[in-house]
């Protein structure tokens, strides 16, 4: 019996490797692109030259905020005054520093729309700057592209019959997303996976280099002592920052010192690490130390099936004076569903996660909050509207009631999600 088990081990191991390789493909965005002339392309999709995974983020602008109608005149006046103060503070700071800072535009309650691509069922371009979105739960609404490049981009798709096609945005009638086959015969490349070291910490996961490159066929650009180079990430073992240049070590052991490009020097926009807990951890170049890429990539962070259920936010809100409100929650007068994203900074690192990953939020004064994930991990975040004094408060709809309770952010102690 033991000998039989030993003889079967190589077969079992080979089968496990085969299954892992096949399953890896399900992390890529997949669907159909319909054109105005009724032509159809089906296959893995890359959004412009960037997003390629179901966990990647689609960014746009919401056209309206329907939740404002639930505030009383006095609540709205107080919130307007608060936003006006911040607007003036930001303008003064801008004049002082000579740089641009985010502000609420003196009472503008229109927020960014952001969700992972896996949350989307389909989209229809409505001109160059707008998109009609349908989410997996049947929600339909229009979003704009002002300030974001995800609306208006040409889309690349590897059609299963004819290969790579770049479809012009103006030609697209509809993009319909669907489950990715477990095995793709053609795809753009393999995921970049590894460990990033930054300011004494380590982050493991899928990697976006310079907010851009994220697959093995993407290239790292730079100037060597002998001239310009463009190296496929599939050949790179590690990259280490040294002042204004970088040491690149290839898998062969060969070393190159590179500079002169935003990929390897001060123009770098940062390294993003994606995992199951955090949609993104954005690490500034000035804090980055080293990345080591792995040959073997673990299972996908998520597949299209993982986004099938999209529930409304609900739970219990507790205030400083001991009151509690339970029911459906509108967070920051904006986020209403688990698919929406919360962001904030811990030190120099910016964290983004979906509300579906969050168990509890506990305020630490007005300026920061501790986020407890469903995995048990806790992290304190600040310097973003979701978790500081710019948060516009919460609406809580008790079961059976049409009129919600409004709780300003400075009165919130804890939010526990169901």
pLDDT digits (tens, 9 = 90+) for 143-157: 998 888 899 999 999
**SS3 of the chain: helix, strand, coil, percent, to 5:** 20, 45, 40
- The reply to whether 168 and 31 lie within a common domain is yes
5 belongs to a structural domain = no
Q: What span, in angstroms and rounded, lies between the C-alpha atoms of 295 and 293?
A: 7
pLDDT of 193 > 70? The answer is yes
The enclosing H or E element of 5 equals helix 2-24
Based on the structure, what is the number of domains in the chain? Answer: 4
Same domain, 246 and 282: yes
What is the Cα–Cα distance from 408 to 109, expressed in whole angstroms?
A: 15
Say whether 243 sits in a helix, a strand or coil: coil
Does 120 share its domain with 146? yes
* pLDDT-based confidence at residue 124 (cuts at 50, 70, 90): very high
Among 152, 177, 202, the domain boundary falls at 177
Same domain assignment for residues 59 and 80: no
Same-domain pairing of 86 and 118: no
Percent of the chain topping pLDDT 70: 88
Same domain, 173 and 274: no
pLDDT, mean of residues 11-19? 39
For every residue of 337-358, DSSP letters joined together read BTTSEEEEEETTEEEEEEGGGE
Q: Could you give the percent of the chain with pLDDT greater than 90?
A: 78
- Give the end of a domain, one of 177, 208, 232: 177
Whether 366 maps to a domain, the answer reads: yes
Pair 150, 42 in one domain? yes
Domain-embedded: residue 102: no
- State whether 32 and 56 are in the same domain: yes
The answer to the question of residue 19 being in a domain is: no
Q: What is the per-residue pLDDT for 85?
A: 56
Q: Which of 226, 261, 293 is the last residue before a domain boundary?
A: 293
Question: Over the stretch 205-255, which tens digit does the pLDDT of each residue have?
Answer: 999 999 999 999 999 999 999 999 999 999 999 999 999 999 999 999 999
- Name the strand (E) or helix (H) holding 32: strand 30-35
- Examine residue 188 and state whether it is found in any structural domain, yes or no: no
SS3 17: helix
Averaged pLDDT for residues 24-44: 96
How many H-runs (helices) and E-runs (strands) does the chain carry? 2, 30
Positive or negative, the CA dihedral 67, 72, 75, 78 is: positive
At 10 the three-state DSSP class reads helix
CA dihedral 292, 298, 299, 303 (to 10 degrees): 0
CA distance 160 to 41: 8
CA torsion, ordered 217, 222, 228, 229, to nearest 10 deg = -30
User: Is there a single domain that holds both residue 50 and residue 153?
Assistant: yes
Question: Do both 48 and 155 map to the same domain?
Answer: yes
Question: Is 163 a member of any domain?
Answer: yes
Residues of the domain holding 214? 193-293
Within 13 Å and on the Cβ side, how many CA atoms surround 155? Answer: 31
- Domain assignment present for 303: no
What pLDDT sits at residue 303?
Answer: 97
Judge if 220 and 277 occupy the same domain: yes
Cβ atoms within 10 Å, residue 67: 19
Q: Which run of H or E residues covers position 20? A: helix 2-24
The reply to whether 51 and 84 lie within a common domain is: no
**Tokens coding 75:** 């609540």
Q: Could you tell me if residue 187 is inside a domain?
A: no
Q: Average pLDDT, stretch 182-195? A: 95
CA 128 to CA 156: how far, in whole Å? Answer: 17
Phi, psi of 15 (to 5 degrees): -65, -40
Q: What is the pTM of this model?
A: 0.88
Residues 6+ apart with CB under 8 A from 417: 313, 314, 315, 329, 355, 358, 359, 360
pLDDT-based confidence at residue 107 (cuts at 50, 70, 90)? very low
DSSP state of 260: S
């Amino acid at each position: 019996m033991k000998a039989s088990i030993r003889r079967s081990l190589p077969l079992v191991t080979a089968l496990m490797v085969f299954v892992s390789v096949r399953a890896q493909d399900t992390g890529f965005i997949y669907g159909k692109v319909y054109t105005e002339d009724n032509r159809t392309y089906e296959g893995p999709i890359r959004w412009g030259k960037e997003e390629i995974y179901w966990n990647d983020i689609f960014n746009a602008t919401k056209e309206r905020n329907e939740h404002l109608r639930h505030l009383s005149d006095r609540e709205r006046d107080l919130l307007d005054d608060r936003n006006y103060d911040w607007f003036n503070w930001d303008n003064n700071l801008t004049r002082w520093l000579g740089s641009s800072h985010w502000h609420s535009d003196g009472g503008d309650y229109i927020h960014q729309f952001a969700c992972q691509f896996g949350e989307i069922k389909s989209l229809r371009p409505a001109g160059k700057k707008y998109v009609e979105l349908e989410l997996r739960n049947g929600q339909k609404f229009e979003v704009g592209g002002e300030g974001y490049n995800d609306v208006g981009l040409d889309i690349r798709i590897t059609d299963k019959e004819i290969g790579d096609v770049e479809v012009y945005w103006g030609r697209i009638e509809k993009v319909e997303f669907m489950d990715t086959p477990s095995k793709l015969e053609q795809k753009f490349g393999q995921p970049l996976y590894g460990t990033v070291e930054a300011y004494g910490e380590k982050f493991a996961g899928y990697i976006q280099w310079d907010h851009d490159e994220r697959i093995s066929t993407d290239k790292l650009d730079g100037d060597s002592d002998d001239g310009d180079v463009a190296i496929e990430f599939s050949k790179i073992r590690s990259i280490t920052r040294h002042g204004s240049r970088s040491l690149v070590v290839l898998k062969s052991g060969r070393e190159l010192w590179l500079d002169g490009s935003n990929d390897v020097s001060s123009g770098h926009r940062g390294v993003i690490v994606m995992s199951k807990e955090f949609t993104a951890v954005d690490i500034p170049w000035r804090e980055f130390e080293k990345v080591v890429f792995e040959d073997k990539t673990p299972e996908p962070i998520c597949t299209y099936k993982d986004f099938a259920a999209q529930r409304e936010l609900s739970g219990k809100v507790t205030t400083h004076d001991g009151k509690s409100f339970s029911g459906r929650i509108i967070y920051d007068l904006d986020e209403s569903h688990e698919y929406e994203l919360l962001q904030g900074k811990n030190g120099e690192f910016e964290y983004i996660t979906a509300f579906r990953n969050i168990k509890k939020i506990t305020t630490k004064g007005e300026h920061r909050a501790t986020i407890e994930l469903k995995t048990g991990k806790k992290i304190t975040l600040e310097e973003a509207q979701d978790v500081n004094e710019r948060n516009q408060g919460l609406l809580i709809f008790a079961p059976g009631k049409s009129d919600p309770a409004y709780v300003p952010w400075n009165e919130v102690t804890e939010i526990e999600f169901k």
